[in-house]
Amino acid sequence: MYINLKGLTDFLDFNWRNLSSGEQSMFTFISRFYHLKHHQIQHEDLKKNMVILIDEGDIYFHPAWQKKFFQITIDYLSKLLKDHNLQFIFTANTPFITSDLPKSNVIFIEKRSRRKVHVHGADNDRAETFGGNIHTLFADSFYMEGALMGEFAKDKINKIIKYLTGESKQKKDDYKKTIDIIGEPVLKRKLQEMWFEKFGVEEEIEELQRRIEELKKKK
């Protein structure tokens, strides 16, 4: 009765308690297609060949769900619309869906300035995407401009590098503490070497002694 009465505009609003934004988004996504198939259009009125466009369908999802979104979408809609030939067009700002597609099926659209957009066709020079490591794809400048850390941390580390390559001989212990908590091991080791080179052999001896004590405790 409600469907017959509402016309083009809903006048009842249904909310589900205790759902996260990701759960709500997934529930909405699935229910809209279910509604399309079973209520909005009669089955015989649906075209045999269908093009389905999904614009940033994984936008509110946890990364673990983003990895599964393409598979869930294909499985669900293939069953729901099993009597139809389907073509999917996805848009996304993250590489999770890209990792499930061969490069020839991906069109990269790059905004180079406020007024200039460049479209990379199927024969683009980007790395192969299908089965690609998501972390590696994230490092691609197309997604993250080559950065795999937060801007705050990046700014701090750049200041430390400028300090270590400068002429100042005043030791800043807070910079040393920051170097010691860096999570990326190669970057951390390089900055530690730069620190030792700047502040002499004694500093390195102290660090090695501390490391020896740690290993003795482990032993």
Query: What gap in Å lies between CA 85 and CA 76, rounded to an integer?
Result: 14
Q: What is the structure's pLDDT at 24? A: 84
Number of domains in the chain: 2
Reduced to 3 states (helix: H, G, I; strand: E, B; else coil), residue 89 is strand
Residues 181 and 123 in one domain: no
Give domain status of residue 158, yes or no: yes
Query: Considering 121, 144, 167, which residue would you say is the last residue of a domain?
Result: 144
Q: Is residue 63 within 8 Å of residue 56, measured between CB atoms? A: no
Q: What is the structure's pLDDT at 41? A: 63
Residues 105 and 163 in one domain: no
What average pLDDT does the segment 194-207 reach? 78
Q: What is the structure's pLDDT at 143? A: 58
Q: What is the structure's pLDDT at 96? A: 77
Residues 160 and 125 in one domain: no
Confidence of residue 38 (pLDDT cuts 50, 70, 90): confident
Query: What gap in Å lies between CA 120 and CA 105, rounded to an integer?
Result: 11
Residue 181 has pLDDT above 80, yes or no: yes
Domain containing 211 equals 151-218
Confidence of residue 10 (pLDDT cuts 50, 70, 90): confident
Reduced to 3 states (helix: H, G, I; strand: E, B; else coil), residue 136 is helix
The full DSSP string for 148-190 is: -S-HHHHHHHHHHHHHHTSS-----HHHHHHHHT-S-HHHHHH
Residues 122 and 198 in one domain: no
Confidence of residue 212 (pLDDT cuts 50, 70, 90): very high
**Structure confidence by residue, pLDDT tens digits, 135-179:** 666 666 555 555 566 778 888 888 888 888 888 777 788 888 888
Q: What is the structure's pLDDT at 121? A: 67
Residues 56 and 137 in one domain: yes
**Other Cβ atoms within 10 Å of 97 Cβ, number:** 23
Q: Is residue 103 within 8 Å of residue 129, measured between CB atoms? A: yes
**Structure confidence by residue, pLDDT tens digits, 57-107:** 888 888 888 888 888 889 999 998 888 898 999 888 777 777 777 877 887
Q: What is the structure's pLDDT at 213? A: 92
Residues 106 and 182 in one domain: no
Give domain status of residue 53, yes or no: yes
Residues 109 and 43 in one domain: yes
The structure's pTM equals 0.58
Give domain status of residue 188, yes or no: yes
Reduced to 3 states (helix: H, G, I; strand: E, B; else coil), residue 118 is strand
Give domain status of residue 1, yes or no: no
Residues 107 and 69 in one domain: yes
**Structure confidence by residue, pLDDT tens digits, 111-135:** 777 788 777 766 666 667 777 666 6
**Other Cβ atoms within 10 Å of 86 Cβ, number:** 14
Residues 26 and 70 in one domain: yes
Among 5-9, 41-45, 181-185, the range scoring the smallest mean pLDDT is: 41-45
Residues 89 and 26 in one domain: yes
Residues 121 and 193 in one domain: no
Give domain status of residue 4, yes or no: no
**Other Cβ atoms within 10 Å of 5 Cβ, number:** 8
Residues 207 and 155 in one domain: yes
Measured between alpha carbons, how far is residue 88 from residues 1, 74, 96, 111, 138 in Å? 33, 9, 16, 23, 23
Query: Considering 89, 117, 144, which residue would you say is the last residue of a domain?
Result: 144
Give domain status of residue 58, yes or no: yes
Give domain status of residue 40, yes or no: yes
Give domain status of residue 48, yes or no: yes
CA of residue 168 relative to chain centroid, distance: 39
Residue 40 has pLDDT above 80, yes or no: no
Specify the higher pLDDT residue, 32 or 145: 32
